[in-house]
Amino acid sequence: MNIPINVPQMSMQRQDGEKRRLVLLRLPVLADLSLSTRLMLLVVVPLVLTMAVTLPLTVIGLNRLASETSNERLAGEVPIIRDRFEDFQFDLGQLADGFAADPVLLSGVRDSNSALIVSNLLAMRVRHGLEHVEVVDVNGISLGHEHEKGRSLEQSSLDDLNDLGLAGLDAAGLVRSTSGWSLTVVRPIKDSNGLIGAITVGQELGEAGLTALNFRRSDPLLLTIFEDNEVSAASYPTGRVFPVVVDPVPVEQAWSGQVVPGVVTVDGTDQRAVYAPLELGGKTVGVFAVALTTSPVVSLRDELAANQVMVAAALALLVLGVGYVVTRTITRRIMRLRNGAVELANGNLAVKVEETSRDEIGALAHEFNRMADNLREKTSQLELANKNLEMRVFERTDELERANAQLLDAQGQLVQTEKLAVIGELSAGVAHDLRNPLGAIRNGVFFLKSRLVKSNKLTTDPKIAEFLDVMDERITECDRIIGELIYFTRIAPPEYSTVPLSEALEQAMRDSCLPSDVAVERNFDDADVEIQGDHDQLVRVFGCLAQNAKETMPEGGKLTLAMRNDASQVEISFTDTGAGIDPEVVKRIFDPLYTTKIQGTGLGLALSQRIIEKHNGKLEASSRLGVGSTFTVRLPVKIGAAVGDGPVG
């Protein structure tokens, strides 16, 4: 009997499968690529290699050249700008000398004729484009002061310069004005009899002044730095103002008299710069900086890089054009079918493949289009059914959500109404039942005191007086609690009037009698905020919040009062540094009669919330254990308005 043995055949099949897997796993070689791809690689690879080598080398060389030329140019700019500042001071001094010798001005100073002096100063200021001119008599009293409209100068600095002029000295200095800094010179005014006054002449060192000092050039950029190492002014010859930030390290070195290279950030870009001291009378009064905003070498570098990119782009377009022609003539029809299949797989059921022939590829395109039509029709039916189902579900869900929200709202209102009704009924009964016995007890205490005074028992036994005082205090405390219960159930509508919030807060602070170990910090955006509300009710709320804050800080701390406002609402917050409140307690903190204090009634915060709600406002609480608590009151500015949910500002 012959039994066929198939083991070698199975082994050969396994080897063929392994070969096929190896073929699938091997990396693609040049022979696997299409003709169009090989043609494009033939041009693109050498082009990319050439640019990868030449472009970085060119940029490195041009960067080095740009650095050297920029340093040389900046070094030459410092003496030029320094000479311009000296010329500016000299020209201003020449003007002041001419003004001091003017016959009309001399006559006005001798006669103390302020009207004549002011008219003459106005003509001088307008004619020479000055920022300010002032004349004082020999006693330092101003006889006339002319300055540009809307500007004022630091009077103490002007007085110091006037004192130098009245001492017969020619001097110069910097004076701060509302628009920046002004270079000001002073000259004594003399006639044949001697010194009769002094005149100060100032010109603004602002944008216009620096632009003139910089020969109205757009490059380099000229900056002045005076106090706080901040840019005081910059030359903007084009009229376009952009942010400028200086480097604090070279600025500090320049203040010590050094000329230091550095950088200036111009409109978000770091530019090469040099910092130098600005001196007046041999004293450094500021720092000026010269920053290059452009460089011919940098422009050449950028232009060369752009040209190389453009050449590469042109060559790439040429290669793509050749590849397109090859692909169009050889594989256009197959790629058209392939693209249609990709579109269909991506969900575009409206795709159509052009049927240009009746051969096998044309028949395949026809069947492809018929399949796409069938899929589109079935998908449309499915989408329509899905939309109908979604619409029904959405309608039912929306109705259910609205009904649920209405039910929850009604339930909450009902619970709150019932709770307040029960509290009101209980409070009225308790108040009525307790006040009469308390009155009788108080009368008894008073009677005992009067009898004991007559019998000298109070002086012989101080403990009796002490216990009677304690009884009187506890009766007063009970009467206060009864009053709060009655007030809680009978809160009157607000009696609206104009309420200055800062005054109401201060009154509440005084009434709260905060101990000396509780520091109060006030952080008000505007201390003059006024709203329409009930003054006494608001003071009661603020006092309650301050009292709560005091009780959470028995060993002292800080209470921060903050007030922010906008056009429609005001936010007042009380923040303490106490132990904080448990999150579960915060949820119930405004419930009537809920309290965690041994002697508390649980009505203070509930009463405060009802008062704020009657003002159409909101009272909220937040707390962190170990950090402290914040109670926030939001009130509308006008009667009948409401507040939003978010913070003010």
Burial of 230 (0-12, 13-18, 19+ CB in 10 A): exposed
Calculate mean pLDDT across residues 619-629: 91
CB atoms < 10 A from the CB of 40, how many? Answer: 19
Radius of gyration of the chain (CA): 45
Note the pLDDT of residue 28.
Answer: 55
Closest CA to 195 of 273, 283, 106: 106
Q: For residue 4, is pLDDT > 50?
A: no
Does 101-204 match 208-294 in CATH topology? yes
**Band (52; pLDDT cuts 50, 70, 90):** confident
Note the pLDDT of residue 470.
Answer: 77
- Cβ atoms of 135 and 121 within 8 Å: the answer is yes
Calculate mean pLDDT across residues 201-209: 84
**Band (557; pLDDT cuts 50, 70, 90):** very high
Under CATH, which architecture does the 101-204 domain have?
2-Layer Sandwich (3.30)
CA distance 338 to 361: 12
pLDDT tens column, 311-367: 777 777 776 677 667 666 556 777 777 777 887 788 787 777 777 777 666 777 778
Calculate mean pLDDT across residues 431-437: 68
Q: How far apart are the first and last CA of the chain?
A: 102
The pTM for the full model equals 0.39
- DSSP category for residue 649: -
CA distance 33 to 323: 13
pLDDT tens column, 452-497: 766 766 666 777 777 777 777 777 777 777 776 666 666 778 888 9
- Cβ atoms of 593 and 608 within 8 Å: the answer is no
* Higher-scoring residue by pLDDT: 99, 34: 99
Note the pLDDT of residue 635.
Answer: 92
Q: Where are the domains of the chain?
A: 101-204, 208-294, 493-636
Note the pLDDT of residue 425.
Answer: 65
Q: What is the CATH number of domain 493-636?
A: 3.30.565.10
Distance of CA 552 to the CA centre of its chain: 33
**Band (70; pLDDT cuts 50, 70, 90):** confident
- Please say whether the structural domain 208-294 has been given the CATH code 1.10.530: no
CA distance 572 to 564: 7
Q: Average pLDDT, whole number, for the chain?
A: 79
pLDDT tens column, 167-183: 999 999 888 888 788 88
* Higher-scoring residue by pLDDT: 541, 215: 541
Report in angstroms the alpha-carbon separations of 284 from 153, 247, 260, 563: 21, 19, 15, 45
**Band (35; pLDDT cuts 50, 70, 90):** very low
